[in-house]
Amino acid sequence: MTFENLKLLPQILHSLAAKGYINPTPIQEKSIPHILEGKDICGSAQTGTGKTAAFALPMLQLLFNSNAHQRKGIKALILAPTRELAQQISDSFREYGKGLHLRHAVIYGGVSQHGQTTALRSGVDIVIATPGRLLDLMTQGHVHLNTIEFFVLDEVDRMLDMGFINDIKKIIAKLPAKKQTLFFSATMPVEIKKLSDSLLKNPVIVQTAPVSTAADLVKQYVYHVKTENKKALLKHILDQEEKPHVLVFTRTKRGADKLVKSLLAEHIKAEAIHGNKSQNTRQKALDRFKNRTISMLVATDVASRGLDITDISHVINYDLPEDGETYIHRIGRTGRAGASGIAISFCSPDERSQLRDIMKLAKNIEEVKAHPHDASHHSEEPRKQNGQNQQRRFTPRRNNSGSNSGGGGHSSWRGKRTNDRSYR
């Protein structure tokens, strides 16, 4: 199956080819034909499987074919839970929509609304927004939704987790009854099913993987370690690796900042992104991470969804998340688009109950013993899950053969041991 088989416009096929995309992912292959036929969709797929293109490509085609740019008003609304995801969806629409003469605006908080309201006044066909800022602009009279033809809720479960349900309902109340509605979510718990039942009309259910499972290409490991030894263990792992590109998750904003300060002291270029950082600061950090000016990004769960960064070699859970689904989303930042990846979790004695919850969804986590800071004997062992949490006695390494990371595979990533300036 190729994108040509999906009967997409030549302009869209050209944009896809320019990015090297020839074959659709399963979620794209299953969703695009139904969307082109005008059907509502309730789609579930693992992170990193191309959900954005699954709705962006057919929407762009339908809008272009209906001469949407010649009609007044906003024709399509996409809601996303975070600023980062909204920006990345916007980037996708811009890249895939070249030559289609469709205008779009991205709306989110944390920045001045002036540029956003200016774009809206000039006229746009598509709006990508977070719920809070969209409601603010609706209240001020800058946004009117009575001409909406397509409505997309992306990462629905995350929006509910973040408490956006009432905002979403207020927005939905302003939408016309006749529209095509698309739900896309990495997980599909019962609450999401109830919401979809209330909003979707005879939807096509698209699910390309078991609910809440880790990507097969991600190797998962857990290190038992005392909280006070986590920094030392992280530095030990980094010393063993060959120039990785690492996303680290901490539980708190303060913890993220403290860890970055410690890494900088070790000559490891790292930056933090979390809710206390301005949007411009967060975007600059993401850009520097994408272009490998920095080798490590330390984040709270604000970044666990929607990050579209190629070739993240490792995701490290410096602090375990509170639940298994958040774990799945975190490690979904690596092992994307057919690439392999490594997910490493640090588990302190007081995080054992969280580990047991995680292992109910991710049953192939291997324990790494025989490391300098092993604390597995300091508390009860996590429950075995069908005998699959094996013991591992060496530091995991990622196979970099065929990687496009450049710079050779054998130089250390620490600034004081490599001539590659990006890691200084």
Tell me the one-letter amino acid at 367: E
Contacts of 304 (CB under 8 A, 6+ apart): 249, 321, 326, 329, 330, 333
- Walk me through the domains of the chain, giving residue ranges and CATH numbers: 3-207 (3.40.50.300), 218-413 (3.40.50.300)
Whether the Cβ atoms of residue 273 and residue 285 lie closer than 8 Å to each other: yes
Looking at residue 338, its pLDDT comes to 62
Looking at residue 304, its pLDDT comes to 57
- The Cα–Cα gap between 251 and 247 comes to 13
Looking at residue 194, its pLDDT comes to 82
- Which residues, given as ranges, of the chain have pLDDT below 50? 211-212, 381-394, 399-424
Whether the Cβ atoms of residue 98 and residue 15 lie closer than 8 Å to each other: yes
Cα–Cα distances (Å) from 171 to 73, 78, 289, in that order, read: 16, 11, 34
Looking at residue 238, its pLDDT comes to 87
Backbone angles phi, psi at 90, to 5 degrees: -60, -45
Whether the Cβ atoms of residue 237 and residue 286 lie closer than 8 Å to each other: no
Looking at residue 301, its pLDDT comes to 82
Q: Look at residue 334 and give its three-state secondary structure.
A: coil
Looking at residue 412, its pLDDT comes to 36
Looking at residue 331, its pLDDT comes to 87
Q: Which two tokens stand for residue 98?
A: 């070249």
Q: Which two tokens stand for residue 347?
A: 């588990």
Question: What one-character DSSP code corresponds to residue 254?
Answer: H
Looking at residue 404, its pLDDT comes to 41
Whether the model clears a pTM of 0.75, i.e. scores above it, the answer is no
Q: Taking each helix axis as running N to C, give the angle between helix 10-18 and helix 51-65, from 0 to 180 degrees, rounded to the nearest 10.
A: 150
Identify the bridge partners of residue 224 per DSSP, sorted by sequence position: 347
Looking at residue 294, its pLDDT comes to 92
